[in-house]
Amino acid sequence: MPNPDTPAISVRGAVKQYGALQALAGVDLDIHQGEFFGLLGPNGAGKTTLISSLAGLVRLSAGEIRVMGHEVVRDYREARRKLGVVPQELVFDPFFSVRELLRIQSGYFGIRRNDDWIDELLANLDLSHKADINMRALSGGMKRRVLVAQALVHKPPVIVLDEPTAGVDVELRQTLWQFIRKLNRDDHTIVLTTHYLEEAEELCGRIAMLKQGRIVALDSTPNILRRVSQRALQIRAAGMPDVLPTFLAEHLLARESGVLQLRFDRHAEIEGLLAAVRESGALIEDIAITQPDLEQAFVEIMQENSR
Amino acid sequence: MSCFSALLYKELLRFWKVGFQTVAAPVITSLLYLMIFGHVLEGRLQPLEGVSYTGFLIPGLVMMSVLQNAFANSSSSLIQSKITGNIIFVLLPPISYREFFAAYVIASVVRGVVVGFGVWLASLFFGWTGVAHPWWVLGFVLLGGAILGTLGLIAGIWADKFDQLAAFQKFLIMPLTMLSGVFYSIRSLPEFWQQVSHLNPFFFMIDGFRYGVFGASDVSPWLSFVIVGTAFVLLAALTLQLLQRGYKLRG
Ligand SMILES: Nc1ncnc2c1ncn2[C@@H]1O[C@H](COP(=O)(O)OP(=O)(O)O)[C@@H](O)[C@H]1O
Ligand SMILES: [Mg+2]
């Protein structure tokens, strides 16, 4: 039995240099067993590079990565047995059917008879009826699900998904998340990169934000959200002056076509803001209070770090 | 099933599934060579005492099929996997670089042998004379196939595009095979070109193989064996080195 205190993934001083470009500029990160972890960041932040390094597809220029305590270069056999990776790119082998592919993939991990688990995977991913179809004949969404099945043939304790829902329709996304959540409840560690921030907000217990190869924020999802504690007062009003009074301008988060987003910290401030809008001569038609979301947190944290 | 046998099985299944392209087509090509060259040159050339030109040509074509198809197998499998990106399916599992090497080379040898065997079967209609030393035949087929399978692996690892692979094949593999004495005995060449031919390791594969078939050859089969064996060991060492470093496969 693995020691439950061993991090599922441990990254130390990871640097990856591509010529002059630093795709990873010194990353330190521990992901614990059983976590549902989100890796977020804009395009080119280094998310895929980090995942590729821990999967042994890319070799670090400096630093060290362990999967369930196994260093990924020296102890690659054990490290790779513990890891399932769903790649970002929609790759497939056109020579084989879904079932053939999954059997072969099981064989690569030294598993001889795996049909029971393969059937379970296919059922959970809603692919049972496609088992004997050639990969070429599958739609993009189905290919994506086969990639998930391929990553899971050896029941890895650590599962990494690199933007798994890019280009996947909504219904399918739900099927996929149900399954991944179930795996997480069964003690699999899940690491996810995504561009759908609401997805990370909904699923992930902890989040790291990556920018230009560095971690710029690392915290529980609620704490990340709290960092941008700003709930906003949203006011729709007619006859708003183009130039807002100073008091309103100081609280302004956003403004578009007659709708103001105003920052406030305490409820007591709301009355003052409403009064200021009325005094400017505008007629309030509607008000609402909006909760912070990850999208906003993301933009703000990214901006903080570029200052 | 070990990681190795799974990879070997995958590589074998891959070419078998497209058997028309990978087996039938090369057999037909060789038969065309045999009919055309045999017909045109029969009676005009007699490279080996007591053997008709067609009889001389058949083992050369068999061996050429083994070599070219062994090369084609590993090189095209790898480049396709690299270009489509599905190479990651064999890079993610715990497959060692030695297992990787062995699986690709053995699958290439098998494809070479299957095609060579097909050419031999078909050539029975043109009068094959029997085999003098089966062990030499087997030895040179396996070694020759392994060398070309290894070269295919190197080419597949190195090339980033189909063009580059085609260049490797057209400017290196084809000339070396064609100039190895498949269609003629190098004794029929001027002294200078005989010397040049002796620099071509492919010549020794074909010549050794022909010794196995006819019991006669241009040079001693032992010399050929040592040269071909050494070539394989060197190429295998180079390839293992590349794979261990992850050259072009693991960024
Ligand atoms: N093989 C490579 N050669 C050169 N640069 C690369 C390579 N792979 C990635 N990069 C660069 O490294 C940076 C990080 O890329 P990536 O990890 O794919 O980002 P993300 O997945 O966060 O979008 C990018 O600037 C990208 O262009
Ligand atoms: Mg990426």
Q: Of A57-61, A275-279, B37-41, which gets the smallest average pLDDT?
A: B37-41
Q: Who wins on pLDDT, A250 or A67?
A: A67
Which of A295-304, B59-68, B112-121, B174-183 has the lowest average pLDDT? Answer: A295-304
Beta-sheet pairing, A252-256 with A259-264: antiparallel
Identity of the residue numbered A161: L
Q: How many CA atoms lie within 13 A of B247 on its CB side?
A: 14
Ligand nearest to the CA of A46: 1
Residues 207-236 of B with CB under 8 A from A: none
Q: How far apart are CA B144 and CA B109, in angstroms?
A: 8
Least confident piece of the model among A32-36, A296-300, B147-151, B239-243: A296-300
Q: What whole-number distance in Å separates Cα of residue B35 and Cα of residue B180?
A: 20
pLDDT band with cut points at 50, 70 and 90 for residue B71: very high
Task: Give nearest CA residue, ligand 1 atom 27.
Answer: A44
Name B124's Cβ contacts closer than 8 Å, sequence gap at least 6: none
- Sign of the Cα torsion A31, A32, A33, A37 reads negative
Mean pLDDT of B105-133: 90
Q: Which residue has the tokens 């690892």?
A: B157
Complete edge-to-edge strand list for the sheet that includes strand A83-86: A83-86, A158-162, A189-193, A36-40, A206-211, A214-220
Pairing label, strands A36-40, A206-211: parallel
Report the candidate in B75, B56, B78, B242 with the shortest Cα–Cα distance to residue B148. Answer: B75
More confident residue, A281 or B7: B7
Q: Which residue has the CA at smallest separation from atom 2 of ligand 1?
A: A18
Please give the backbone phi and psi of residue A265, each rounded to the nearest 5 degrees, phi first.
-105, -40
Query: What domains can be seen in chain A, in order of their start residue?
Result: 9-226 (3.40.50.300), 230-291 (3.30.70)
CA dist list (Å): A109 to A103, B74, B228? 10, 22, 35
pLDDT score, position A298: 73
Q: What are the pLDDT digits (tens) for B168-226? A: 999 999 889 888 888 788 888 888 888 888 889 999 999 999 999 999 888 999 999 99
Mutate to test the interface with B, among A78, A108, A144, A150 (most CBs of B within 10 A): A108
- Using beta carbons and an 8 Å cutoff, which residues of A are at the interface with B? 52, 55-59, 76-78, 80-81, 83, 85, 87, 89, 91-96, 100, 104-112, 150, 154
CA dist B71 → B63, B66, B77, B153, B169 (Å): 12, 9, 10, 8, 9
What is the distance between the alpha carbons of residues B159 and B87, in angstroms, rounded to a whole number?
14
Mean of pLDDT values over A35-46? 92
Spatial distance between the Cα atoms of A116 and B184, rounded to a whole number of angstroms = 58
Contact check, Cβ <8 Å, A56/B90: no
Supply the pLDDT for residue A306.
Answer: 67
Specify the ligand 1 atom closest to the Cα of A88. Answer: 21
Residues of chain A with pLDDT > 90: what percent?
61
Ligand nearest, relative to CA of residue A39: 1
Nearest CB among B1, B6, B84 relative to A91 is that of: B84
> Closest partner residue to A108 among B3, B246, B250, by Cβ?
B3
Bridge partners of A235?
A260, A287
Report d(CA B41, CA A229) in Å as an integer: 90
**CB spacing of A59 vs B95 below 8 angstroms:** no
**How many angstroms separate the alpha carbon of residue B71 from the centre of ligand 2?**
35
Distances (CA, A) of A288 to A255, A261, B221: 14, 10, 92
Residue A277: pLDDT over 80: yes
Position A172 confidence tier, pLDDT thresholds 50, 70, 90: confident
Chain B residues whose beta carbon lies within 8 Å of the beta carbon of residue A112 = 1
Average pLDDT, integer, range A119-144: 93
Q: What is the pLDDT of residue B16?
A: 94
Which residues in A lie closer than 8 A to residue B79 (C-beta atoms)?
Answer: none
Rounded-to-integer distance, Cα A249 and Cα A234, Å? 14
Q: Judging by DSSP bridges, how do beta strands A158-162 and A9-18 pair with one another?
A: unpaired
pLDDT at A201: 83
pLDDT in tens, A285-295: 999 888 766 66
pLDDT at A28 over 80: yes
Least CB–CB distance from B3: residue in A55, A93, A110: A110
Evaluate if residue B54 carries a pLDDT over 90: no
Mean pLDDT of chain B, nearest integer = 91
Q: Report CB contact under 8 Å: B89, A105.
A: yes
Determine what percent of chain B is predicted with pLDDT higher than 70: 99
Q: How far is the alpha carbon of A274 from chain B, nearest alpha carbon, in Å? A: 58
pTM: 0.87
Instruction: Tell me what pLDDT residue B39 has.
Output: 78
CA pair distance A124, A206, nearest whole angstrom: 26
- Minimum mean pLDDT range among A175-189, A193-207, A290-304, B114-128: A290-304
Interface list for B 127-166 with A (CB within 8 A): none
**What is the whole-number distance in angstroms between the Cα of residue B166 and the centre of ligand 1?**
29
- Mean pLDDT across chain A, nearest whole number? 90
pLDDT at A154: 97
Q: Which residues pair with A119 in a beta bridge?
A: none
Where do the H-state alpha helices sit in chain A? 47-54, 76-81, 98-108, 115-124, 140-152, 170-185, 197-203, 221-227, 246-251, 268-279, 294-306
List the single range of A260-274, B11-25, B130-144 with lowest mean pLDDT.
A260-274
Atom of ligand 1 minimally distant from the CA of A52: 17
What would the pLDDT profile of A60-114 be if each residue is shown by its tens digit? 999 999 999 999 999 999 999 999 999 999 999 999 999 999 999 999 999 999 9
The lowest-confidence range among A41-55, B35-49, B200-214 is: B35-49
Q: CA B176, B182, B183 angle in degrees (round to 5)?
A: 120
| Residue B92 sits at the chain A interface (C-beta within 8 Å) | yes
pLDDT of B128 > 80? The answer is: no
Nearest chain A alpha carbon to B83:
A91
Give the per-residue pLDDT at B129. Answer: 67
Q: Kindly state whether B5 is in contact with chain A, defined as any CB-CB distance less than 8 angstroms.
A: yes
List phi, psi (to 5°) of A17. Answer: -105, 125
pLDDT of residue B173: 92
Which of B7, B94, B250 faces A59 most closely, judged by CB atoms?
Answer: B250
* CA quadruple B30, B33, B34, B36: dihedral sign: positive
Distance A40 CA to ligand 1 centre (A): 15
